[in-house]
Amino acid sequence: MPIARLPETGTCGRCKQPLPAIAEPIEADAALFDEVMRDARVPVLVDFWAAWCGPCRMAAPEVATVARDLAGQALVLKVNTEQQPGLAQRFQIRGIPNFMVIKNGRVAFQQAGLVRAAEMKRWLQAPATHSHA
């Protein structure tokens, strides 16, 4: 499915059964990340993490909860900073876990540190702000 359609409920081309909106975090490499930045029609939560990071492991179920609870309303990406150092560098990720919210192709919010699902949901559901430059 194209990135722009992931939050939608679809229909299987073969059996015609409904396909629910994606309800789990998506592991992202640089190409997928850039595609989501360009094409996502819903807010996106990005979790920058690493396997060796204890707080990242503690955050994982919270991130999964957000993906499940906001299926169809938001997308959730996980970026492993060990496997994708270029992405971590691009967004100046110095501490993990680090969470970023993308709205309308732009970074709307970024915060490091362990956060609960309810707080992440508030970030995603907050109105997009526009800078007047």
Which residues are identified as catalytic? Answer: 53, 56
Q: Angle, to 10 degrees, between the axis of helix 54-69 and the axis of helix 117-125?
A: 50
The residues near 44 (Cβ < 8 Å, ≥ 6 apart) are: 36, 37, 74, 75, 76, 77, 101, 102, 103
Computed from CA positions of residues 128, 8, 73, 110, in that sequence, does the dihedral angle turn out positive or negative? negative
Tokens 């789990």 belong to which residue? 24
For residues 6 and 111, give the distance between their C-alpha atoms in angstroms, rounded to a whole number. 25
Tell me how long the chain is: 133
Instruction: Decide the pairing of beta strands 18-19 and 10-11.
Output: antiparallel
